[in-house]
Amino acid sequence: MNAVTPAGTPSGTPPLAPPLALLAELTHRCPLRCPYCSNPVELTRVAAELDTASWARVFQEASALGCLQVHLSGGEPTARRDIAELVRAAAAAGLYTNLITAGVLLDEAMMARLVEAGLDHVQLSVQDTEPGSAERIGGYRDALPKKLRAARLVREAGLALTLNAVVHRQNLDRLPEMIALALEIGAGRLEVAHVQYYGWALANRDALLPTRAQLEAATAEVQRAREALKGRLVIDYVVPDYYAKRPKSCMGGWGRQFLAVSPAGRVLPCHAAESLPGFDFPNVREVSLRDAWENSEAFNRFRGTGWMKGPCRDCPRAEIDWGGCRCQAFALTGDAAATDPACGLSPDHALLDMAVREAAASEGDFTYRVMGAAPQKA
């Protein structure tokens, strides 16, 4: 599919290629209470979720737009009673289907329905390898045994399996055990994903931010494991920005390679973008996915480099990191158009050093979110 240049896009915007993948956030419901949850602070209620037919149309439009795969996520996607129907609709649209799940609700009957519907891949999250810690982090009793059961069901079904380990100060020292667990359950890929600090994770940053020594040890462990396990296990590594000198290319650049649809139908350039004020994100109830991708002001606002201020505008890395993360820039500075403070050239870079010092002095207590209730301390 050829790239296009939508009308009304700012100067410095490259031709627009089709998105590679769609993140379908089917629901915000989840039995876990992870203190780093990437869902927005304000959760979508069940009554406002897109219905089965609407999601099926979204999948068809995503395929027509050029998407190759769909990540079925949440919350916990298996909390939806129609999850098998949604998998079937995505597969019928010609999309590679990946279920992103905590696994605690997955049983033999559900697994059979998902396989019959055409599921291709499962990404299973794990909070820790020590059962008590896993239970405390996720706020869910007997979480680890249930996740191991889910992993067994996935492998018995012959599906590809990725283990997603979200790491932070309170579990990072057990990274070697997480790598061993990925091998034990037969995962072909391990994603070691440091917590990214916006949304609910920002409220728990002091309890989650690792020390520099932990980060350096983890990075060395990943490098060692990649060499030792080459050909047996692929290890992806997503680092935190709080010790960085240059920002990462968040999502490959705003609105360049990726789009998400929220449970209520809002079309977003990334799953965290709902945290940004002053945006009128389009909704699939009102516009097509193609129109949202190509023509919405929200998507075009930060595409390319024409929107950039100094020092980003004249930086030789402008088309490498695309200015970094807009959600992080807003979370730390209050300005989504600011230079990402992860960059050493940002006038706000010192905010990261301040956050590191504050986290080091923290006692490490979590604040849990419960849908429809006041936040709860650990």
> Which residues participate in the annotated binding site for [4Fe-4S] cluster?
30, 34, 37
Cis peptide before 311 (omega within 30 of 0): yes
Q: What is the CA radius of gyration of the chain?
A: 20
Q: Which residues are annotated as a binding site?
A: 30, 34, 37
Residue 148: how many other CB atoms lie within 10 Å: 16
Q: CA 116 to CA 110: how far, in whole Å?
A: 10
What's the Cα-to-Cα distance from 75 to each of 7, 282, 283, rounded to whole Å? 35, 21, 19
Burial class (CB in 10 A: 0-12, 13-18, 19+), 132: exposed
User: For residue 115, what is the enclosing H or E element?
Assistant: helix 108-117
Q: Label residues 193-232 b or e (16+ Cβ within 10 Å = b).
A: bbbbbbbbbbbbbbbbbbeeebbebbeebbeebeeeeeee
Q: Which of 192, 170, 168, 169 is nearest to 180 (CA)?
A: 192
Q: CA 265 to CA 98: how far, in whole Å?
A: 19
Tokens 């869902």 locate to: 39
Strand partners for 124? 101, 163
Q: Order of strands across the sheet with 160-167? A: 234-238, 189-194, 160-167, 121-126, 96-101, 69-73, 21-25, 258-261, 267-268
Tokens 């939806």 locate to: 80
Q: Which of 351, 315, 346 is nearest to 331 (CA)?
A: 351
